[in-house]
Amino acid sequence: MKNKKILATCLLTMIISAGCAQKSVVRYGDATAVETTDINFGSTDLQKVAAEMTDSLLLSPVVGTMTNNNRPIVFVERIKNKTSEHIDTESITDSISTRLLRSGKFRFVDMTRVDAARAQIEFQQDSGMVDPSKAMQFGQQVGAEYMLYGNLSSIVKSNKDKSDVYYKFTIRLMDLKSGLVEWADETEIRKTRTKQSVGW
């Protein structure tokens, strides 16, 4: 009888636990929706920065003249993160370079893949597995004419009631031959969080 009571109690506990268990539901969301989880740099900020800087560059009269009958070759240097946050600045440069490439006005060299390209050319030259007449040769790649580079910085202020973060993103386009900066722009983002009292 005692064992039956223990078994019944265990079964009842399992049924109640199963009934109270929370289910996790996953849904697709709008990737372009405004993200307000916290005041740190987020997806909305990345999209804003990439869109504004790309539009500014493409609408610049200097760049218009530069790309009139030519598709300049650009090297994108990774954005320097001067904030106190861990921010994947490569995502910013990827978004900007992708938008510029889609415009059809620029071509890019990918410096992050130099080692992989070198290894492939060495394989074609030295492995004996590639037809020598079809193997890529060293010294034939085209060099960049311009370098796109920039900084992301922030100022953070907070007290017991309010937190404020200000971001400034600056980007420049340099002519590698002359060293002249042909274009530059910046955009700003300010985000605040206010603590609200809970209760009546």
- Taking only the tens place, the pLDDT of each residue in 152-173 is 998 888 888 788 889 999 999 9
Give the max Cα distance, the chain: 94
Give the tokens for residue 150: 């920039």
- Taking only the tens place, the pLDDT of each residue in 93-133 is 888 899 999 999 999 988 888 889 889 989 988 888 888 88
The CA–CA distances, whole Å, from 55 to 4, 16, 87, 132, 142 equal 74, 58, 23, 45, 26
Q: What's phi and psi for 44, nearest 5 deg?
A: -65, -40
Query: 81, 153 in Cβ contact below 8 A?
Result: no
Query: ∠ at Cα 184 (34, 98), nearest 5°?
Result: 50
Which CATH number applies to 39-193?
A: 3.40.50
| Whole-number pLDDT of residue 16 | 62
pTM for this predicted structure: 0.73
List the chain domain ranges.
39-193
CA atoms in the 13 A half-sphere facing the CB of 22: 2
